[in-house]
Amino acid sequence: MKCIKHIVWGILMLGAFEASAQEKLLNLGIETRIDYLRESIDGVRDHESSGFKGQELSLDLDGEIGHGFSYAYRQRLNTNHDNESFFDATDWLHLTYTTPNERWAFSAGKQVVGIGGYEYDLAPIDCYFYSEYCSNIACYQLGASITHTLKNGNDSFMAQVTESPACLGEEMFAYNLMWMGEHDWFESIYSVNAMEYIPNEYIYYIALGNRFTMGPVVLELDFMNRATDHQTFFFRNCSVMGTAKVEVCPYVQLQAKVSYDVNRTDNIADFCVAPGTELTRVGGAVEFFPIKGKRNVRLHAAYCYTMGSSDTELTVLQDKHSRLDIGLTWRMNLLSFAHPKAK
Which tens digit of pLDDT belongs to each residue from 259-298? Answer: 999 999 988 899 999 999 999 999 999 999 999 989 999 9
pLDDT for res 74: 95
**At a CB cut-off of 8 Å and minimum separation 6, what does 64 contact?**
24, 25, 70, 342
Is the predicted pLDDT of residue 303 greater than 50, yes or no?
Answer: yes
Indicate the pLDDT class of residue 312, thresholds 50, 70 and 90. Answer: confident
Region 287-313 average pLDDT: 95
Is the predicted pLDDT of residue 315 greater than 50, yes or no?
Answer: yes
Closest CA to 322 of 37, 40, 36, 35: 40
How many Cβ atoms are within 10 Å of 312's Cβ, its own excluded? 9
Region 105-113 average pLDDT: 97
Q: Is residue 219 a contact partner of residue 247, using CB atoms and an 8 Å limit?
A: no
pLDDT for res 16: 41
Region 102-131 average pLDDT: 96
pLDDT for res 343: 43
Which tens digit of pLDDT belongs to each residue from 161-211? Answer: 999 999 777 899 999 999 999 999 999 999 999 999 999 999 999 999 999
Which tens digit of pLDDT belongs to each residue from 42-68? Answer: 989 998 889 999 989 999 999 998 889
Indicate the pLDDT class of residue 9, thresholds 50, 70 and 90. Answer: very low
Domains of the chain (ranges plus CATH)? 2-342 (2.40.160.10)
> How far is residue 310's CA from residue 135's CA, in Å, rounded to a whole number?
15
> How far is residue 210's CA from residue 116's CA, in Å, rounded to a whole number?
9
3-state secondary structure string across the chain:
CHHHHHHHHHHHHHHHHHHHHHCCEEEEEEEEEEEEEEEEECCEECCCCCEEEEEEEEEEEEEEEECCEEEEEEEECCCCCCCCCHHHHEEEEEEEEECCCCCEEEEEEEEECCCCCHHHHCCHHHCCCCCHHHHHCCCEEEEEEEEEECCCCCEEEEEEEEECCCCCCCCCEEEEEEEEEEECCEEEEEEEEEEEEECCEEEEEEEEEEEEEECCEEEEEEEEEEEECCCCCCCCEEEEEEEEEEEEECCEEEEEEEEEEEECCCCCCCCCCCCCEEEEEEEEEEEECCCCCCCCEEEEEEEEEEEEECCCCCCCCCCCEEEEEEEEEEEEEEEEECCHHHC
Question: Which is more confidently placed, 295 or 85?
Answer: 295
How many Cβ atoms are within 10 Å of 301's Cβ, its own excluded? 16
pLDDT for res 232: 67
Looking at the chain, the whole-number percentage of residues with pLDDT higher than 90 is: 77
Q: What angle do CA 313, 318, 320 make, to 5 degrees?
A: 135
* C-alpha to C-alpha distances, 145 to 89, 138, 176, 187, nearest whole angstrom: 21, 18, 9, 21
Which tens digit of pLDDT belongs to each residue from 198-254? Answer: 999 999 999 999 999 999 999 999 999 999 987 667 899 999 999 999 999 999 999
- pTM for the model stands at 0.88
Question: Which is more confidently placed, 313 or 34?
Answer: 34
Name the burial class of residue 131, with classes exposed (0-12), middle (13-18) and buried (19+) by CB atoms within 10 angstroms of its CB: buried
pLDDT for res 83: 53
Q: Is residue 132 a contact partner of residue 315, using CB atoms and an 8 Å limit?
A: yes
Indicate the pLDDT class of residue 41, thresholds 50, 70 and 90. Answer: very high
Question: Which is more confidently placed, 309 or 8?
Answer: 309
Indicate the pLDDT class of residue 82, thresholds 50, 70 and 90. Answer: low
Indicate the pLDDT class of residue 337, thresholds 50, 70 and 90. Answer: confident
How many Cβ atoms are within 10 Å of 91's Cβ, its own excluded? 19
Question: Which is more confidently placed, 3 or 298?
Answer: 298
Is the predicted pLDDT of residue 7 greater than 60, yes or no?
Answer: no
Is the predicted pLDDT of residue 3 greater than 60, yes or no?
Answer: no
